Structure 1
Amino acid sequence: MPERNKGEIDMRSTGQTDRIVIIGGGISGLSSAFYMLRQAREARRQLQVTIVDEAPRAGGKIETLRKEGFVIEKGPDSFLARKQAIIDLARELGMEEELTALNPDARKTYILHQGKLHPMPAGLMLGIPTDLEALQDSELLSEEGKLRVSEELELPAREGDEDESIGSFLERRLGREAVKTLDEPLLAGIYAGELDKLSLRATFPQFRAAELQHGSVIRGMQAGRTAAAAAAAQSDVPEQVRGSVFLTFRGGLSSLVERLEQTLAPDVDFRYGARATAIHKQAERGAAPYEVELSSGERLAADTVVVTTQGFAAAELLRPLTDVSALDSVRYVSVANVVLAFDKAQFGQTFDGSGFVIPRTEGRQITACTWTSTKWLHTSPDDKVLLRCYVGRSGAEEFVQWDDAQLTEVVREEVREIMGITAEPLFVEVTRLHHSMPQYAIGHVERMAAFRSRLAEELPGLWVTGAAFDGVGLPDCIRQGKEAARELLQP
């Protein structure tokens, strides 16, 4: 029997081998490969899979630094437990027992308001107050602001079906003060964006659904909170992490990438350090429909191409082939994070929560700070402390360009002013994530649906997926990889 080539999975079928080229080795590309191979096995099809990435490693923005007993995330640090796609993948990879939950004693989160840290009111769900008594006791809003929030219960739902910005929606429902103080630091922080420019339908469609179904976003989120609690009791989340809003892996998020890479290795040809420079549509009869040209000049024949890069990179590859105005509409924001490690004996403080967020109105360079070693107990030795501070958001990206010394200096100064921390760090890790946060402008969902529909008609066998399209979180990217497999390998 002839030895099969690396990158080809033999389904013992008489059919032709499908050549798949996946551009991008982040979680979207790896998930696409994983589910395409699994689906091919089930259908007894033959695949030859190649993953091309100009980076020297797989994982994209996911990168865990394991240093001196610390587990430090240089990119994303966790994921929402309610999004099942990543739980399913962990189970399929045999990583279920490696999932770890938030420290139950660190559930409290703070908001910086007028220079002081205030605990978030109980019942705050994605910035929506569901416990108005707790909001009344909070010092975060004025009496007028609290009254305006309570009036939301009586406001009629807006008519029509057009998209709007998150900021517009929340201001008409809750008032401007609540938007600036409660919503902006929480919701905009997820995207590093501006609420008045982000699409409601693409980011938090559940808010509009709550307004339409319950006549009030507050009542809708209250009902959602009750339903979520009931669902959590019946959920498929492993028992040891049930009840935690966020999850990660004990060895860091890179352990998921490493397991995926290990699982895929026998059947995938990984081309690290190889940049895809063009996609050529083939006209010759009997030839592969596409060729992917690499920076080396090599051309890879492909029956199917999956593009999982950032939107602007995908646009440059596809521009010679089709209209890419939908991709051009996705603007990106650059951010940075500064991790500070301390000796607990010199630190002089203890934390009762997971960290704090900072509204734009506070005029700080830091947008948030995670008390990492308190939030995630596995990330630090018992006698050490780990903090992670975030810098950069839409309209304030210049700080990301500062050198390490400048960034460290401003972060340490603000940490001192906000929390009174004067201890000298054991070490500092600075990570810049250039063009890492896609911004979903108003009308994003409709533009992307139309774009994908046109691709299917004009360029069958070519698929685009990833954070630029339908969700920036890790579970969203994994779900989209699974969807890519289903769309491209359907009978």
Structure 2
Amino acid sequence: MADQEQRRKIVVVGGGITGLTTAYYLQKQIREQCLPIDVLLIEASLRLGGKIQTYRKNNVIMERGPESFFDREGHIHQLAKELKIDSQLTANKLGPTYVAVGSQLYPIPERLMAGDAPHVSSFITSGLFSISGKIRASGDFVISRTKEKIDQPVGPFFRRRFGAEIVENLVEPLLASVYAGDVEQLSLQSTFPQLYHLEQQHRSLLLGMRKEQSSIFYGSPSKNEDEGIFETFTNGLETLVEAMEHALLPQTVMKGIKVERIETTTTKTAVVLSHTAPVMADQVVVATPFYVTEQLLAAYHIKPLQQMTAATMATVNMIFHKDQALDWNALAFFVSRNSDFAITSCTWSNLKWPLTANKEQVLLRIYIGRVGDETIVELSDKEIEETVLQDLKKTTDITGRPQQTVITRWKKGMPQYTVGHQQRVAEIKQILQKECPSIHVAGSSFEGISIPECIAQGKQVAQQLLMKE
């Protein structure tokens, strides 16, 4: 009885990739160290993995949420090796990539999407920029370092170095496909801190990237000439979720249970559930979207949580027969705001990831919705399909209607790291440390939206909690 009373309990609220990773590493380290600690993962929906949702049917693999990851620090590779699924990792194939400006498609400078530092010659010969735009972009070689020591928006930073045309025709379209955000509001410190450091160290971003062999957006280039720097699993991203869930003790996962609120008492933290008794915990990790976290912790009136925002967007997966798209050999195109398109990007998934469809099929993955253009997501499925088809037929030889369309809406699905984001996150953690030190927050709303960044957060918070115990 005495041993039972000495056991501690850690509750993880939210079974997305961050919460799932937290629970996985907690259980792993508790087991390895024989610690008297119990872990409970609580998820409101009937499945784990959050936005990672792989649709598998008739040998077709569609991703409803994120489709891949760039594992800069190796977090997923390490985790996949632990889970014995590393042999299923596969890199994307390369191919021509375009940006839609007006009603025309222009090729993106060669090898940029492979993670290479941009070659000056590729900018000079690119039809994506006017002569005056190219001359202005060359100003990066002589423009001085920014004197700003505080956070600044991404748009003005790039505009100062390369001019407005580079921002409108390249930077904004690429970032819209990643953050669904507004470059006039996105935080440089929270999205591309490496670029600020490159500028401070080398003055010129282009020279700095050449010296350090990194690209504007992605870091080190791929070592394989025909493969890119993005990866997934051969049977879809949900392979990772399934392997982690399988590694958890089944009695330590509660699905379909909604947490109403979280409150601290004199000795414990109460996780109040719907339709069942509260769970008393010694430590609680809240790994939910910021707007859910704010509701769960409403008793503490955490203002920085109320100041956060998110964009609404959707993924549209379409299957066509190969005869409906005869002469298309591009991998993807992104869409400038200065265009006649409603979509924000389109990828030929069957070319980028050959295992996602058979040779008789063309699988397209389209993004719609971004900050300032979110109403399209509210249209009916039929209206969205028709809008997407109209856009595709402006620039491709797609004919007829798709054999299947799968639309997935993500309301408030993309956290916006606007200027001051890191300061807000620091304030949230300070408030929690002062008011309720047994409660911790993590997830894509806070310190990285990518899958590797979420996994890194989950692993880090697990280590920190066990140090406290």
When normalised by structure 2's length, the TM-score is 0.94
Q: Equivalent of 1:48, from 35, 38, 44?
A: 38
> Secondary structure, in 3 states, of the residue corresponding to 1:110?
strand
Q: Is the 8 A contact 1:126 1:187 kept in 2?
A: no
2:265 alignment partner in structure 1: 282
Aligned to 1:39: 29
Q: Secondary structure at the match of 2:317?
A: strand
Aligned to 1:172: 160
Query: What is the rounded CA distance, in whole Å, between the counterparts of 2:289 and 2:313 in structure 1?
Result: 15
* Matched letter for residue 207 of structure 2: R
Unpaired runs of 5+ in structure 1? 3-12, 234-239
Deviations along 1:291-312, whole A, 9 cap, x unmatched?
A: 1011214201111110010001
Does the C-alpha gap of structure 1 residues 229 and 296 become closer, same or farther in structure 2, counting only changes over 3 Å? closer
Give the equivalent residue in structure 2 for 1:299.
278
**Equivalent in the alignment of 1:5:** none
- Tell me by how many angstroms 1:67 deviates: 1.1
> Structure 2 vs 1, CA of residues 142 and 316 (structure 1 numbering), >3 Å: closer, same or farther?
same
Report the Cα offset of residue 47 of structure 1.
2.3
Counting aligned pairs with the same residue, the percent is 35
Counterpart-to-counterpart distance in 1, 2:284 and 2:338:
45
1:69 match: 59
Structure 2: which amino acid aligns with 1:247? E
Does the CA contact (< 8 Å) of 1:335 and 1:400 recur in 2? yes
Deviation (angstroms), 1:125? 6.6
Consecutive unaligned residues in structure 2, runs of 5 or more: none
Residue of structure 2 in register with 1:217 after alignment: 205
- Of 271, 281, 290, the residue aligned with 2:254 is 271
Change (3 A) 1:197 1:230: closer
Q: Does 1:148 align with 2:125?
A: no
Q: Show the 5 A alignment for 1:360-439.
A: 360-439=337-416
Pick the aligned partner of 2:238 from 232, 254, 263: 254
Amino acid at match of 1:177: E
Could you report, residue by residue, the CA deviation over 1:28-59 in whole angstroms, capped at 9, with x for unpaired residues? 01000011112223432122221111111111
Distance 1:269 1:40 in 2: 13
Q: What amino acid maps onto 2:318 in structure 1?
A: L
Give the direction of change, closer, same or farther, for the CA distance of 1:32–1:269 in structure 2 (3 Å limit): same
Residue 419 of structure 1: how far off its partner (Å): 0.8
Aligned-residue offset at 1:123: 4.8
Match of 2:447 in 1: 470
| CA distance 1:153–1:92, shift in 2 (3 Å) | same
Structure 2 counterpart of 1:312, one-letter code: Y
Structure 2 partner of 1:443: 420
| Residues 175-186 of structure 1 mapped to structure 2, 5 A cutoff | 175-186=163-174
What residue identity is the alignment partner of 1:138? Answer: S
2:292 matched residue in structure 1: 313
* Cα distance in 1, alignment partners of residues 225 and 129 from structure 2: 34
- Paired with 2:402 and 2:188, the residues of 1 have a C-alpha distance of 40
RMSD between aligned alpha carbons?
2.3
Contact map agreement 2:48 2:241 (CA 8 A) in 1? yes
Partner of 1:6: none
- Name the SS of the counterpart of 2:257 in structure 1: coil
Deviates most, 200-209 or 112-121: 112-121
Mapped contact 2:106–2:127 kept (Cα < 8 A) = yes
CA distance change for structure 1 residues 364 and 48 in 2, over 3 Å: closer, same or farther? same
Q: What is the SS of the residue equivalent to 1:489?
A: helix
